[in-house]
Homo-oligomer: A and B are copies of this chain.
Amino acid sequence: MKLHPPDCIAVIFCAQRTKDDDEAYEAAANVMSNLAAQQSGYLGQDNSRSEDGLGITVSYWESDEAARAWRDHPVHSAIREQGRDKWYESYTLHVARIERSYDWNKSGIGKNSVP
């Protein structure tokens, strides 16, 4: 959870999990998360998953080219096929360009905004 600059890309992935195969899914999700972090142009990600299996992952990228390169990464592509086959009921994916950002925290560093 951190502030990303204007003009960078947010990939918003919302997915409803099947009820099956939790262990294999978690293992694959960890591999994907670590592999994404090694890609050129990767800025970070936020992840949340509700008990009902609705998960949101937002990954942040320096450019659309970097986001597309990750989409096309062969390992990512292979895991995505597995996801459709076994782990997901449905998903939406929105690719969006950040225009402005804010953060806040209670511990006193306070509030920032960009730009």
- A residues lining the B interface (CB < 8 Å): 1-4, 10, 12, 14, 16, 18, 46-51, 54-56, 58, 64, 84, 88-107
- List, in ascending order, chain B residues with CB within 8 A of A56's CB: 46-48, 56, 58
Q: How far is the CB of A50 from chain B (nearest CB, A)?
A: 5
- Provided the pairs A90-B107, A102-B92, A107-B90 are in contact, do residues A14 and B49 lie with their beta carbons within 8 angstroms? no
- List, in ascending order, chain B residues with CB within 8 A of A100's CB: 94-95
Q: Is the interface of A mostly helix, strand, loop or mixed?
A: strand
The complex is assembled from copies of this chain, and their number is 2
The complex places the Cα of A92 from the Cα of B2 at a distance, in Å, of 6
Asked if A92 and B103 make an inter-chain contact with CB atoms under 8 angstroms apart, the answer reads yes
Residue in B90, B105, B107 whose CB lies within 8 Å of A106: B90
Asked if B92 and A1 make an inter-chain contact with CB atoms under 8 angstroms apart, the answer reads yes
The complex places the Cα of A94 from the Cα of B12 at a distance, in Å, of 11
Q: How far is the CB of A110 from chain B (nearest CB, A)?
A: 11
- Provided the pairs A12-B58, A56-B46, A96-B97 are in contact, do residues A90 and B105 lie with their beta carbons within 8 angstroms? yes
